[in-house]
Amino acid sequence: MTRRRLVTALLVLAVVALFALPLALDGGAAEYAGTDSQAAEAVEDSGHTPWFESVFSPSSSEVESGLFAVQAALGGGVLGYVLGRLRGRRQTPRQAERAEDAGP
């Protein structure tokens, strides 16, 4: 095994350990809730009322997570497209210069 592969393997193990150790040491005792729901509960507990209701509330958590996944995929696609276009714009003048330097 080369040194490069060893370093890569150790880094992957370190990342896995960073995620697995807290979950293993906790033993499943903690509730992992999102900060949105915690903040909403804290605001409602302080006596404030919402100004408006949601336009659409999914019927189940599976639908909600599916919609979130679709939103994330669309955002990733748009981001990838924009970055690809920007890179293409930057490389096009370079390719034109190389073609001019090469001559006929």
Ranges of each domain in the chain:
60-104
Tokens encoding 84: 């690809």
Residue-wise pLDDT for 66-87, tens only, equals 999 999 999 999 999 999 999 9
Q: Report yes or no on whether pTM surpasses 0.85.
A: no
Residue 80's H or E segment, with its range, is helix 61-102
**pLDDT given for residue 56 in this prediction:** 81
Contact of 72 with 64, CB cutoff 8 Å: no
Contact of 58 with 64, CB cutoff 8 Å: yes
Which parts of the chain sit beneath pLDDT 50? none
CA–CA distance, 88 with 104 (Å, rounded to integer): 24
